[in-house]
Amino acid sequence: MLINSNFEINIRSIEEFARVMVPEALDKTMNLFIKETFDNIEVNMDIDGKKGNFSYANQEGRIDEQKQTMVKILLLKVYNKKYSWGGLMGVRPTKVLRRLLSLGYSYEQAEDMLRNFYIVSDEKIKLLVNTVKKELEFLNREYINLYIGIPFCPTKCKYCSFASYEINGGVGRYYKGFVETLLEEIEMAGKFLKDEGYKIESIYIGGGTPSTLTESDLEKVLKKINENIDMLHLKEFTFEAGREDSLTQKKLELVKKYGVDRISLNPQTFNEETLKKVNRKFDRKNFDKYFRIAQNMGFIINMDLIIGLPDETTEDVLYTLSELEKYNIENLTIHSLAFKRASKLFKENKNRKELNRDIIENKIKELTEKKQLKPYYMYRQKNIMEWGENVGYAKEGKESVFNIEMIEENQSTMGLGGGAITKRVIEETEFRDYIERIINPKDPALYIKEMKERMESKYKLFKKRRNIDEKL
């Protein structure tokens, strides 16, 4: 894309936006002209014989890169692209709204800006506002959270891009060494966090599939957490028991014994043929068995569904949603499938059926209202199906603090295990943070080799105060 402009512009950012949102503009020449006053900014565009202009009040730096954003919005306008999320291509639209509120905008003013500046639909604005209002009940920077990644699965699902390796594959030979290294890392992290006085609000064991651990190793990990991590301020402890083919009653008894109060049981779809196609084993009777056991044990149970799996029709999705009505769920996450570069689906370029989003969304609304589930966190991804979103729903009082803090990047995260991401959230100004990250190796062999080195880096990172003056 060739861009001629009378003001400074990030060409790479515009190209990335066009690649996803307006691909037909990529090989064109864009001519831009800006008129700026103290009160107003007007951008004029001429591209591919199409002309347009976009005028909006000068927000005096309160909108990140206002001119740049206006170019992107105008690009949608001249090509008559109508997306329900408008120009909000990013992963966390809730952050946009929270920033506007923190700058002193009222909800009404913020909604007006979302509608008229970012051209977001009224339906998505309502979802965004309701989600943020719920999030604000929980966000608390006084605490941090702890994430532990188990990078093994019974099989690798084709849509998955997370750190995971088939336990019976070649990488499985590092399983024993991984567990031993993880136990050591938990002990090191626990001592450091206690010494530095950090308060842990939530612990999340994810993956991969944590329930791939043997019963013996699972108890070792859980016991090590309880012995070394200060749980005085802990509000929730989550364990992803996502796949029924890796569960036993003993494993559920163990996680209960050691303080876990939330688990995930994730069918993704109730169409077993679909699950076979994406290399995910599933036995409905076995799933129902462990759901009942977990429910009787008193766990808060989350279920994940994915809309847009290969070859699934609108009718298939509606069937899954109707089957979901049979379960007394307190927490539900509905994902729109995104083709991620690290997934096998992306490499296979698997086509998805065109779905009737309106019918599906109406069914979701009907289901969640019937189950008294309200949205409490959400995020989006590039290459997501029909520019949708991922939404977490929960009954009142059953929301996941970890999910909220993780998506909003409000709390710092100490990440342990394979592929875990450590995030240090540092307050740059009253209205802006910057985030520094340290990523554990996904590969178990490399994780074993580099754990102590990465841990030393985490020590240094977490000794920084939340102040820009502490930047290295």
CATH of the domain at 55: 3.30.160
Tell me, yes or no, whether 101 lies in a domain: no
In this structure, the answer to whether residues 169 and 56 fall within a common structural domain is no
User: Where does a domain end: 26, 56, 81?
Assistant: 81
- What gap in Å lies between CA 446 and CA 453, rounded to an integer? 11
pTM for the whole structure: 0.88
Peptide bond into 298 cis (omega under 30): no
- What gap in Å lies between CA 84 and CA 79, rounded to an integer? 15
Tell me, yes or no, whether 36 lies in a domain: yes
Tell me, yes or no, whether 448 lies in a domain: no
User: Where does a domain end: 81, 96, 111?
Assistant: 81
Give residue 136's region: left, alpha or beta (phi > 0; psi -120 to 50). alpha
User: Where does a domain end: 33, 65, 81?
Assistant: 81
In this structure, the answer to whether residues 302 and 403 fall within a common structural domain is yes
Tell me, yes or no, whether 464 lies in a domain: no
In this structure, the answer to whether residues 59 and 161 fall within a common structural domain is no
Tell me, yes or no, whether 364 lies in a domain: yes
Tell me, yes or no, whether 116 lies in a domain: no
Q: Which of 13, 60, 6, 19 is nearest to 38 (CA)?
A: 60
Query: Is 266 in contact with 294 (CB distance < 8 Å)?
Result: no
In this structure, the answer to whether residues 50 and 152 fall within a common structural domain is no
What is the residue-level pLDDT of the chain in tens, covering all 472 positions? Answer: 889 888 888 889 899 889 888 999 999 999 999 999 999 999 999 998 899 999 999 987 777 788 999 999 999 999 999 888 888 877 788 989 998 998 889 999 999 999 999 999 999 999 999 999 999 999 999 999 999 999 988 776 666 655 566 777 788 899 999 999 999 999 999 999 999 999 999 999 998 889 999 999 999 999 999 999 999 999 999 999 878 888 999 999 999 999 999 999 988 899 988 888 887 788 899 999 999 999 999 999 999 998 888 888 999 999 999 999 999 999 999 988 754 444 444 444 555 567 888 899 899 999 999 999 999 999 886 656 455 789 999 999 999 999 999 999 999 999 999 999 999 998 876 667 889 999 999 999 999 999 999 999 999 999 875 443 444 4
What domain range includes position 336?
144-417
In this structure, the answer to whether residues 257 and 368 fall within a common structural domain is yes
Query: Is 235 in contact with 202 (CB distance < 8 Å)?
Result: yes
CATH of the domain at 239: 3.20.20.70
How many domains does the chain fold into? 2
Tell me, yes or no, whether 433 lies in a domain: no
